[in-house]
Chains A and B, each alone.
Chain A
């Protein structure tokens, strides 16, 4: 187990006019499951590869515990990595794949076999030990890749989108398996994904990245409840948060003729144009007489436990799409016009120019 610290870590690819990661400062606690999440090209995989030693660090430093590993080769960092496409050695059996790192460490054959068997039992792979990877399903291959990482008992696990090649059902199952395994082992884990649902369900903390910059690091629920900026607000949450530019009337934010209920402390910090963030569950359907925003329903997404109304409204003369969670099943249909009002407790206010959050 170990802590991981990035201190201004920078990666600049040759021929690029700006760095892929301009200078990352991030502290990962001992035993923590840290998820790096963000859209494609945000620098999350580069960050992970810098930690693993597969990418050089052009400036700054990376520490594992108190040891500066910035220029240390991958094999000497005490890190195991699980790759997106598993990267299993195709000509080796499952047992040989799992034991390869131990063989490289010159561990004797008996101990090696014991360690492989223990890991295989933990992952339910004992009956596949003599098979080649091509004779395994995607889920089994994924478990072998996990097994290859855990037999080494490393200080840090690095996982680069390990679930992206699995089908939806297997992904949900494996997601839970990895999270359980990590909490059993207590090994510090850095996990990269572009899927915010994966990030929210697995991470003890989540680091949201965009364009190489760290946007926010927090627990999943805090990210959801209190996004620091417009990017995090729009990225975290499924369905996404509705972001609507408001106009100011006497210092109070208005969406068309509807006044947005904003706490006094927040209202006091409004200096210019603001964007209002409303989660689908922070709006409720009301009768037309209660006012609110009028929304034309274009689709109703019935998920069983929930139903989400997708619709369009007019804001400032332009069409704005909205997603609202509908309380009652079958109450709203495509083509209906409904009225919605925000729940005062669920209103997020952001400075439109800086993108920063205003108020708590």
Chain B
């Protein structure tokens, strides 16, 4: 019977496809409409019947956007910042997650509780002291001022701790100890291969978060050395900013994220599913 569970597997029917199609449409529409808006002027978009199809003027608009704002510099800076934050977060959070999940040490529970509690403190509360700290280190207006505070997140530590605890049995680690491995070798040869899907998920989430971050970079970076989000600012100048140019710039800044997802998508989705099944 369609749509019912037979031997534990649900079969899709027309309703499933319609529902999935509808959700996909809603999800994809904003991106599609960005493309449409990026290829039409303000007047065209304000017409009684707004256009629904993009045209080739999108390339001219991207070019105008590139002339107007330091988008390429922003793009390079964002790739550096997001890449470094992603690598750092994945590495440090996996190490910390492994330590909290599998190593016995005094104060482990309290340290984890403190780590998780920091998630409840809003970023805005720490901005002024953080800026003062960065200025003291001489890092204001340096990309490292954006990278350093985000190299390890409480969410990442907690996420990896939960995954390591459920995906890596204690016996596997004990077997590696018996085989002559030390803690770091156990981490590298046994834990990392087992938690790679979770690392990919954390990597993607971190990359997106770092890529989209606007608040901290605009405080600590100048407009001469912006990340992509900060550089969009320069597009919205003037009394009546051209929506098409803003959208063309935004689209330009979104492409790298789409590439990351296209490259890692399969593993990321696999990772999410594995995590779900293992609870």
Interface string of A176-199 (1 = CB under 8 A from B): 000000000000000000000000
In the complex, chain A residues whose CB is within 8 Å of the CB of B181 = 75, 100, 104
- Shortest Cβ gap from A133 to chain B (Å): 11
Q: B185 touching A83 by the CB < 8 A rule? A: no
In this complex, how many residues of chain A approach chain B with their Cβ under 8 Å: the count is 23
Question: Majority SS of interface residues in chain B?
Answer: helix
Chain A interfacial positions (CB closer than 8 Å to B) = 52-54, 73-75, 79-81, 83-85, 87-91, 100-101, 104-105, 148, 152
Contacting B180 at CB < 8 Å: which of A52, A83, A88, A105?
Answer: A105
Q: Which A residues lie within 8 Å of B177 (CB)?
A: 53-54, 73-75
A sample of 11 more A-B contacts (CB under 8 A), given A81-B175, A87-B174, is A74-B174, A75-B178, A81-B178, A87-B169, A88-B175, A89-B189, A100-B179, A104-B181, A105-B180, A148-B179, A152-B179
B194 and A87 contacting across the interface, CB-CB below 8 Å: no
Mask of B175-199 contacts with A, CB within 8 angstroms, 1/0: 1111111100100011001100000
Residues of chain B with a CB closer than 8 A to A73's CB: 177
Interface residues of B (CB under 8 A from A): 169, 171-172, 174-182, 185, 189-190, 193-194
CA distance A75 to B182 in the complex (A): 9
Q: Which 9 A-B pairs have the closest CB atoms?
A: A104-B180, A101-B179, A87-B171, A87-B175, A91-B193, A75-B180, A83-B171, A81-B178, A74-B177
A84 to B169, CA, bound (A): 12
The answer on a CB contact under 8 Å between B178 and A80 is yes
Given A89-B190, A90-B194, A104-B185, verify A83-B179 contact (CB < 8 Å). Answer: no
* CA–CA, A91 and B168, complex, Å: 12
14 A-B interface contacts by CB (under 8 A): A52-B174, A54-B174, A54-B177, A75-B177, A75-B181, A79-B178, A81-B175, A83-B174, A87-B174, A91-B193, A91-B194, A100-B176, A105-B180, A148-B175
* Residues of chain B lying within 8 A (CB to CB) of residue A105: 180
**Looking across the interface, which residue of chain B has its beta carbon closest to that of A152?**
B179
Known contacts A75-B180, A75-B181; is-contact A83 B175 (Cβ 8 Å): yes
In the complex, what residues of B have CB within 8 A of residue A84's CB?
A: 171
Question: Are A101 and B180 in contact, with the CB atoms below 8 A?
Answer: yes
A148 to B178, CA, bound (A): 11
- Complex Cα–Cα for A266 and B181 (A): 57
